[in-house]
Structure 1
Amino acid sequence: MPEYRLYYWDLPFRAVFIEMLLHEVGASYQRRDAGDLYPDKCLKMQNPGMAPPFLYDCATRKTIAQMPAILMHLARKYDYLPKRNETHTLALKTILDCNDVLMEITNYNGMQMWEKEAWEQFRYARLSDWMQVFEQTGLAHGLKEDKGFLLGSRISVADIATTALFGTMIHAFPSLETDLEENAPAIAALYRRIEKRTRIAGFLAQRREHWERGYCGGQIERSLRKMID
């Protein structure tokens, strides 16, 4: 029996954050379609949530909602949180920053579809600022282009989340790689190093063959591709 069941649509977007950490720590899980719980059963589960991802922990028989909460749960369990209070807090901040970027790049979860002027303002101002936030965080904790991690000398959930954010974004939209190289070269090098870790590399190779360049799906992704591609 697997240790976890992960409920999400057949897309990377928020689920890839969780899957990358599960593979990194060698935990077994079963991927289930979000429709098994969403929307009819969301309010019937223990610890209800509004929308996927949901992670069911088979050992505790409890479901956790919200990508940042799921990552923190797994990071505590598998010792992927920094030891010092400051960097422990920064790990949570990093995950929340990632979640904010996902919301913003989809124009607030698809509240409106992107138009050229709004997209260019976001890409060349807001997104570039976000990239620099991650870069400055890493540089302040010893990250270099050829070595190190986001919050010190040891890998943490912050590195997994940062890689899931930018690695997935650039795989889906390769032209954004130039933006990251210009604004956050150490982060660009970091995500490439993390993607080469044995368990993560195997997972990404398999899933990207299946997903191809897929990102968040539906009308939102079509709007993004119209701007970028």
Structure 2
Amino acid sequence: MPDYELYYWDLPFRGNFIQLLLEEVQADYRKLDASEVYPDSNLSLHYPGMAPPYLYDCRAQLWFAQMPAILMHLAKAYHFLPDEAEQHTLALKVILDCNDVLMEITNHNGMVMWEEGTWQEFRAHRLADWMTIFEKTGQAHSLKPDTGYLLGTRLTVADIATAALFGSLVHSFPELARDLEHHSPTVANLCERMESRPSIGAFLDNQRRELGNAYCGGQIEQSLRDVIR
């Protein structure tokens, strides 16, 4: 039996946050389709979760839902939190920021499809501000284009999450690469460094070969493709 089972669709979106960390630490895990749990069994879990991803910790025999909670669980297990206790809160803040960006870029999880005007407004203001937030976070911890990490001197879950967020975004929508390079140049370089790490790079190569430029799927991804220029 593996140490973990991850339940998610064959899409990068929220799943890659967890898989990049599992790949980096070379955890023994297997990926299963979200339909194994959702929507028929998710409310029957010991700790129910509204929607994927779900992680089953086989050793602890515990289910976890919510991407930020799963990442924090794994970060503690593999010592991927910053060394200083107060920085643990900042690492969580970075992960929660990532989750907020995912919600916003899918227009509140696809409740409304994007239109040209609303997308352009979001791109010029909210998305630009989010990118600036990540850039300033890195600058506050001496992140440089070729060296350093988002929260200090060593790799943490914050770097994995940031790469999963912006790396997936600019791979799926290359038109947004110039936005990231303009508003968050050192973070853009950080993402490239994270994606070039051996285990993460090999995983992403395989995933992108299989899935192409898929992102979040469904109508909301199509509406993004209709408005991103």
Letter of the aligned partner of 1:167 in structure 2?
G
Q: How does 1:1-229 map to 2 (within 5 A)?
A: 1-229=1-229
Letter of the aligned partner of 1:147 in structure 2?
T
Q: Deviations over 1:77-123 (max 9, x none)?
A: 00000021332111000000000000000000011000011000000
Cα deviation for residue 2 of structure 1 reads: 1.3
Name the CA distance, whole Å, in 1 between partners of 2:61 and 2:88: 27
**What percentage of aligned pairs have identical amino acids?**
59
Name the CA distance, whole Å, in 2 between partners of 1:180 and 1:86: 28
Letter of the aligned partner of 1:54 in structure 2?
Y
Name the CA distance, whole Å, in 2 between partners of 1:210 and 1:170: 17
Name the CA distance, whole Å, in 2 between partners of 1:203 and 1:28: 14
The DSSP-based 3-state class of the residue aligned with 2:147 is coil
Q: Pairwise CA RMSD of aligned residues?
A: 0.7
* Structure 1 gap ranges (5+): none
Letter of the aligned partner of 2:96 in structure 1?
L
Q: Deviations over 1:178-225 (max 9, x none)?
A: 000000000000000011011000100001111100000010100000
> Runs in 1 of length 4+ with deviation above 3 angstroms?
none
TM-score by length of 2: 0.99
Q: Matched residue pairs, number? A: 229
Letter of the aligned partner of 2:16 in structure 1?
V
Letter of the aligned partner of 1:35 in structure 2?
S
TM-score by length of 1: 0.99
The DSSP-based 3-state class of the residue aligned with 2:42 is coil
* Structure 2 gap ranges (5+): none
